[in-house]
Chains A and B, each alone.
Chain A
Amino acid sequence: MLPAHYYLMLSAVLFTTGTLGVLIRRNPIIMFMSIELMLNAANLAFITFSRYQRSLDGHIFVFIIMTVAAAEVAVGLGIIISIFRTRTDINIDDLNIMKG
């Protein structure tokens, strides 16, 4: 059994990758995928702790997170589609219609 911090460090690297994706990219689809990457990194940390504590609570958390991710994807992609259905350009910085 490897020490727990191997998996936790990997989870941190994946989470940072996702964060970078959200910060750097301006394509909403790829930003969304980066959020999924971050959720997955968090799930990996949950599963790691679950394994090292020999408790199943982390598995339930991952279960619920997956449900939340599915709901989030369904609604979020719906929003992206309804915004960009009439546009050709999809840079997220152009979404300033609601700016006062």
Chain B
Amino acid sequence: MIAELVIFIILGTVAVATGVAVILSKNPVHAVLFLVINFFSVAMFYLVLSAQFVAFLQILVYAGAIMVLFLFVVMLLNLTGAIESVQDKLPAQKWVGLALGIALLLEAGVVTAAGVFRQVPAAPPPSPNFGTSAPVGVKLFFDYLLPFEVTSVLLLIAIVGSIVLARRRTY
């Protein structure tokens, strides 16, 4: 209990701090690197919550592959300088957005404080292989057969779409 609380506080601080750093950093390269740390700490949370397979997927897919693509695009577009224009077209947007975001956070806090989530029962410890690749695979390939097959169509669409978008214009 105490150990988990300590882990939660450390990882949670890292996750929230890097998340805030992502949206505040001027340099997109820094934002990408902060986001990688954020994904790593979320992966650690998955481990704590005994989602072992998903934790490693998180590191492989998010921290490994997706963020590399982000870094590529930042480099490709040469976005490292001052990008956001000096004249803001909608200057009020920043403050309205901030107010709405704080309202959202307050809403979540009120819902939590009202004890809605307290009805989630404290679970007994799961079986040792809970969340490893074998049970997840059985669930995925038998119970979730249709979503799995539809995923392949989604990937096909992504492949075709990205090729169409990235192709050099020929007109």
Contacts and interface: CB of A to CB of B under 8 A. Distances in A.
Interface in A28-50: 29-30, 32-34, 36-37, 40, 43-44, 47-50
B117 A16 contact: no
Contact of A29 (B57, B74, B165): B74
A33 B77 contact: no
A47 B51 contact: yes
Given A24-B94, A64-B151, A43 B42 contact: yes
A89 B35 contact: no
Nearest to A20: B101
Contact of A75 (B139, B143, B158): B158
Interface string B58-71: 10011001100110
Contacts, number: 249
Interface residues of A, number: 74
Given A5-B120, A18-B19, A93-B89, A40 B38 contact: yes
Interface in B42-63: 42, 45-46, 49-51, 53-54, 57-58, 61-62
- Count chain B CB atoms within 10 A of each CB in A16, A25, A50, A81 and give the residue with the most: A16
Looking at chain B, what size class is its interface with the partner chain? 35 or more
A75 B76 CA distance: 16
A17 to B, nearest CB: 4
Interface string B147-168: 1000100110111011001100
A63 B57 contact: yes
B10 interface: no
Contact of A20 (B45, B57, B98): B98
A53 B70 CA distance: 35
A26 to B, nearest CB: 5
Interface in B119-171: 120-126, 130-131, 135-136, 139-140, 143-144, 147, 151, 154-155, 157-159, 161-162, 165-166
A67 B155 contact: yes
A8 to B, nearest CB: 5
Contact of A66 (B16, B57, B105): B57
Given A18-B19, A36-B35, A69-B62, A60 B84 contact: no
